[in-house]
A = this chain, B = another copy of it.
Amino acid sequence: MSQTSKELTKNLDITYDDKGLIAAIVQDIDTQQVLMIGWMNEQAVELTLETGRATFYSRSRDKIWVKGEESGHTQEVVEARIDCDQDALLLRCRSNGPACHVGYATCFYRVVETDSHLKTIEPRQFDPADVYSS
């Protein structure tokens, strides 16, 4: 079991990929659902930690975007975690609406069946009563 300084340090020392990005997983801190994955550059990481609001980098639009800036479905970061080799973030958030632009609470609303077909498992739209039930 090898351990490097990345795994043991108490300093944030993010490893960005060759495009300058890090994956950020968003988990609802109340329901524990995994909501989505997004990408961040260094500026997006700094803005997320400074503002406490999940902020990503759009690869297709080449720009910073605050989750929910148009829809109002923001994600308030209660706790940010970094993984062992500091190349992935986990944001434990309180959701102000559905994470998915399609309208589901989570972007992971479909299960892969054994025949590789998909079954939608969470047809309900966002219900604040569900998310704030903790």
Contacts and interface: CB of A to CB of B under 8 A. Distances in A.
Nearest to A121: B81
Contact of A116 (B23, B49, B79, B107): B49
Interface of A: 1-3, 7, 9-12, 23, 25, 27, 32, 34, 36-37, 49, 79-85, 88-90, 100-104, 107-112, 114, 116-119, 121
Number of identical protomers: 2
Contact of A84 (B11, B80, B102): B102
B34 A90 contact: yes
Nearest to A71: B1
A116 B7 CA distance: 15
Contact of A12 (B9, B10, B118): B118
